């Protein structure tokens, strides 16, 4: 059993996940939601003891630069030879970051990627943009230490709330409290694992919203 599956079973047994599912109207047995929740919990636990140190930023920068070099080679390879005979098997691509609702079908938002050119122009370009964003974050002057675990957990909650449940991931901060359904969702979903303050959750949500370019109130 994977670490994320172990943590899901430990922190979200039936008696915990069922009331949350009823409150927020989702299927507690939904495979995509369970996978994302398990990954979120794993990231939260894994980063709990880490700090955003200078050494860690250097290591992150090194790995991101390596990923960009690999990406450049990947971009060149399909252009040099028609290795996929003009088509990309979208349903088999391992680069998908968000699970389809039906695991036997390709995600709806990638159905238009039919040729290698489409894949390179859309998929790899988007991935490059994400890598460059991350690289700019680790090369910028360090500010206050980040709660990486909470931010990662919140990223997965955004995927569940926005992608799986189709609801706007927004946050509003009034007199020390978050005041949106999305904020309540993040706070309730993290409560079986950790107890961050409302202001810490709001900060993590603002970070995720800014990172994704999501509309916020």
Q: For residue 98, give the nearest of 111, 90, 86, 107 by alpha carbon.
A: 107
Average pLDDT value for residue range 59-64: 84
| Res 134: pLDDT | 74
Predicted local confidence at residue 121, as pLDDT: 60
Question: Where is pLDDT greater, at 128 or 193?
Answer: 193
Over the stretch 73-131, which tens digit does the pLDDT of each residue have?
Answer: 776 665 555 555 544 444 444 444 444 444 444 444 444 455 555 555 666 677 777 77
Instruction: Give the model's pLDDT for residue 127.
Output: 74
Confidence band of 72 (pLDDT split at 50, 70, 90): confident
For residue range 149-166, what is the model confidence (pLDDT) as tens digits? 899 999 999 999 999 999
What pLDDT does residue 189 have?
A: 98
Tell me the average pLDDT across 196-200: 91
Whole-number Å distance between alpha carbons of 10 and 136: 36
pTM of the model: 0.59
Helical packing angle, 198-212 and 181-190, nearest 10°:
120
For residue 189, which of 23, 1, 49 has the smallest C-alpha distance? 23
Alpha carbons 15 and 203: distance in angstroms, whole number = 29
């Amino acid at each position: 059993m994977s670490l994320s599956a172990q943590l899901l079973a430990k922190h979200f047994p039936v008696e915990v996940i069922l009331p949350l599912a009823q409150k927020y109207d989702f299927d507690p047995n939904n495979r995509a939601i369970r996978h994302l929740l398990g990954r979120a919990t794993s990231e939260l636990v894994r980063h709990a003891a880490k700090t955003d140190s200078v050494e860690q930023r250097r290591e992150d920068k090194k790995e991101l630069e390596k990923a960009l070099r690999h990406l450049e080679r990947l971009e060149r390879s399909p252009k040099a030879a028609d290795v996929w005979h003009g088509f990309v098997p979208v349903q088999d691509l391992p680069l998908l970051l968000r699970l389809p609702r039906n695991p036997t079908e390709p995600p709806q938002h990638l159905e238009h990627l039919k040729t290698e050119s489409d894949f390179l122009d859309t998929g790899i370009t988007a991935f490059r943009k994400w890598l460059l964003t991350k690289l700019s974050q680790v090369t910028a002057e360090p500010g206050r230490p980040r709660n990486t675990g909470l931010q990662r957990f919140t990223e997965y909650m955004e995927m569940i709330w926005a992608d799986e449940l189709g609801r706007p991931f927004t946050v509003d901060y009034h007199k020390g409290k978050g005041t949106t359904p999305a904020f309540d969702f993040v706070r309730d979903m993290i409560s079986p694992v950790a107890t961050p303050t409302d202001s810490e959750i709001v900060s993590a949500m603002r970070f995720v919203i800014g990172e994704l370019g999501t509309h916020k109130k």
